[in-house]
Chains A and B, each alone.
Chain A
Amino acid sequence: MISLDPVEVLVIGAGMAGGAISCTLAEAGVEVVCLEQGDWVPGSKRPHADRFYELERAFNWSTSPNVRHWNEDYPIGTDKVQPLMLNAVGGSTAVYTAAWPRFRPTDFLKDDEHAMSPNWPYTYEDLAPYFAENDRSMGTSGLAGDPAMPPQEEYPNPPLPIGLRGERFAESCESLGWHWWPFPMAVNSRDYRGRPACNYCGNCQSGCPRDSLAGSQNTYWPRALAAGAQLRTGSRVERVITDESGATIGAIYVDSSTGERYRQLAQKTVVSCNGIGTPRLLLNSANEQHPQGLANGSDQVGRNLMFHGLAMVEAWTHDILDPHKGVICAAAYTAEFAETDVERGFVNGFTLLCSGMNGPGFQMNGSHSGNVAPWGEGHHEWFDDHFSKGFSILVQTEDLPHPDNRITLDPDLLDSDGMPAPHVRYELHPNDEALLEYACDRAVDISKAAGATDIKVNRFKNENGDYMPPAWHLMGTARMGSDPKNSVTDGEHQAWDSPNLYICDGSSMPTGGAVNPTSTLGAMALKCAAGILTHLGR
């Protein structure tokens, strides 16, 4: 093992949080080293100019490492969920869809609201300045003035086109008397800071070859490197290490190109490996001082896993709606039911997002709802009735953090360096089952109001009724809190149990909201970085 000179701050993981933190610290003059087990993903590697782009997206460019099997992937022990994860510079933001809504004020106060989830250790208002800063860094496109959200400054870019599918969704919401608004996205509606405007190719789920879609790899990382941050790719951290007192002092990592192991010491260490990777690393870092896993005196590491309860409802009409065009995630959304109303029989709320349907191969293969075109005699008629005539509604509900929904170390699976892989256990709470069902019914209401001739609901359940969702949003598994007994870090992301350790990514979130979390995650990371600067005396 080679010991390296100590640095001020070691960041593990170059994703949304790792990028934002590294950039903020480096620009303030802090010596930062970031270890990332993956590599840069150049635009030229992506499949968007390949006519087999749909086949590529389904397999080689699957968002799930269990399908993709790239060298830098590690297996995830689950036979139920399909996690969205990428080990790369940018992390999962190198393949996500850049949906950019903010959590709402009540998302931070669920213990005050109904006590079935905890409060965050700070409020929406505390995070608001960081939301704005993150929007400027990412180049968010959107329309300020959403009556379903607190007032905010104008977005850096105007809203993206909502297209024919967005117009139909909007008309349907209007006819139902429901809220709708153009959806904020971290995708350029015009050229922004050297990155071109989106050309609406619709293939966002294989990332973006043009860098029109923002991730930390094309926003924070160029700035971080220009400010002197060191980014070591192909560097897989095996464990975070402590001294005899249990204080974190750095990490041991493997260089994937040589197999050599290194000990990198640091004054402060930040773990930002996502809601599955972070608890996995902490658990793998168990030692004499932290026998249950690093920072796990509370037995909370890995627990309280949240994904959002998800479903897809798809609707087909008589009209061409071009769902293969435009950003895939959302042209528009409704937050009509985003707040808790106990009259409905459950707590928490949901949002419904008007999403795209990808190309002809995907549409014939059932798009996101599993409404597969029949084979044989009826295929072409089905094509004529369905192709390009539909839209998807992503049903996104807030799930409750439950201690038995958790990440543990898989008893059998190992990664390519012999480290135990993570194991996922997740089931919907009865509250969340009721919420999801209600939300699906509202999505069907929109579909009917749109004049749908065919509607398909995908509840992501198998024939046994087991919930088997796409796990796009990985949250809760090393959560912040005010009480060391039921949280892993304080409100500044400092681990209760191990001085000089910070944990900041989706695992930090005590609640998941009913919207895509990355905007909030990025804001949270900027706030964390501000705290680290204070602690360093900068």
Chain B
Amino acid sequence: MSTKLGATADYLNLVTERLIPPTGHWPSATTMGVGADLLPRLRASEADGIEAALLELGSLKDFRSKSGPQQDELLRVLESSEPAKFALLRQILYFAYYAQPPVIALLRQRGYDIQEAPQPSGYHMAPFNDDQVPTSGRGAWIPTSAVLKRVVSEI
């Protein structure tokens, strides 16, 4: 990875750690390398959007030098002053974090039936059975022959 991309990957790791903190059992974005994993996946348009958001946040050096609460404050300023840029950054980093195998492994340990990707295994679902057929008989339709003109003058 080039130095520039490497720096961007590091920046994305740091931002992700503020958005989704590595507390408790939740894996760290930096340890998982979310940024480096994400960058090759982005199209130019999304990469440009990420770049624009990071530019607003300031340099990586400055961001890294700040404490966690100070980094949060920078993100809050971005969120209110450039909501579209922040929303794109947040959206993509949420996708990237929850695409990480250690995160999915944690979710499975916690009892969720979730795969890293929908295919090839899909999910098991119990087939529809006769016990589930509605029995109330509710529901109605108007036959062609019974369509009546409604008074709509008061609408």
Contacts and interface: CB of A to CB of B under 8 A. Distances in A.
A335 B138 CA distance: 10
A325 B132 contact: no
Given A147-B138, A149-B141, A342-B151, A379 B95 contact: no
Nearest to B126: A161
Contact of A202 (B123, B127, B132, B138): B123
B154 to A, nearest CB: 8
A59 B141 contact: no
A325 B41 CA distance: 25
Interface stretch (A109-117, A226-234, A510-518, A527-535): A109-117
A441 to B, nearest CB: 18
B131 to A, nearest CB: 11
Interface in B102-155: 103-104, 107, 112-114, 116-128, 132-134, 136-144, 147-152, 154-155
A54 interface: yes
Contact of B122 (A148, A199, A322): A199
Given A105-B141, A376-B18, A113 B134 contact: no
A347 B151 CA distance: 10
A283 interface: no
Contacts of A202: 118, 123
Nearest to A178: B138
Given A161-B128, A201-B122, A375 B152 contact: no
Given A51-B116, A160-B128, A179-B139, A342 B21 contact: no
B19 A360 contact: no
B123 A200 contact: yes
B99 A55 contact: yes
Given A55-B41, A58-B95, A364-B98, A115 B119 contact: no
A291 B38 CA distance: 51
Contact of B123 (A53, A54, A106, A199): A199
A97 to B, nearest CB: 14
B31 interface: no
B119 A49 contact: yes
Given A113-B147, A201-B119, A161 B138 contact: no
Nearest to B132: A162
Nearest to B154: A342
B92 interface: yes
Contacts of A364: 94, 98
Interface residues of A, number: 85
Contact of A375 (B20, B134, B142): B20
B144 A109 contact: yes
Contacts of B67: none
Given A54-B95, A342-B152, A347-B152, A105 B107 contact: no
Contacts of B118: 48-49, 53, 201-203, 359
B125 A123 contact: no
B30 to A, nearest CB: 16
A455 interface: no
Contact of A179 (B128, B138, B144): B138
Nearest to A105: B144
**Which of B97, B107, B140, B144 is the most central at the interface, judged by chain A CB atoms within 10 Å of its CB?**
B144
A361 B98 contact: yes
Contact of B149 (A104, A114, A158, A361): A114
A200 B117 contact: no
B128 A162 contact: yes
Nearest to B79: A375
A201 B123 contact: yes
A181 B128 contact: no
Nearest to A177: B138
B61 interface: no
Contacts of B142: 104-106, 339
A149 B141 CA distance: 6
Contacts of B26: 380
**Which of B116, B119, B155 is the most central at the interface, judged by chain A CB atoms within 10 Å of its CB?**
B119
14 contacts: A48-B117, A51-B100, A51-B104, A51-B116, A53-B117, A106-B141, A106-B142, A159-B128, A162-B132, A179-B134, A342-B151, A361-B99, A375-B75, A379-B19
Interface of B: 18-21, 23-24, 26, 38, 41, 43, 45-46, 72, 75, 90-92, 94-101, 103-104, 107, 112-114, 116-128, 132-134, 136-144, 147-152, 154-155
Interface of A: 48-55, 58-60, 69, 104-106, 108-109, 112-116, 123-125, 143, 146-150, 158-163, 167, 170, 174, 177-182, 189, 198-203, 209-210, 320, 322, 324-326, 335-336, 338-340, 342, 345-347, 359-362, 364-365, 372-373, 375-377, 379-380, 387-388, 431
What 8 A-B pairs have minimum CB-CB distances, sorted nearest first? A199-B122, A148-B139, A201-B118, A147-B139, A179-B139, A48-B119, A161-B125, A361-B98
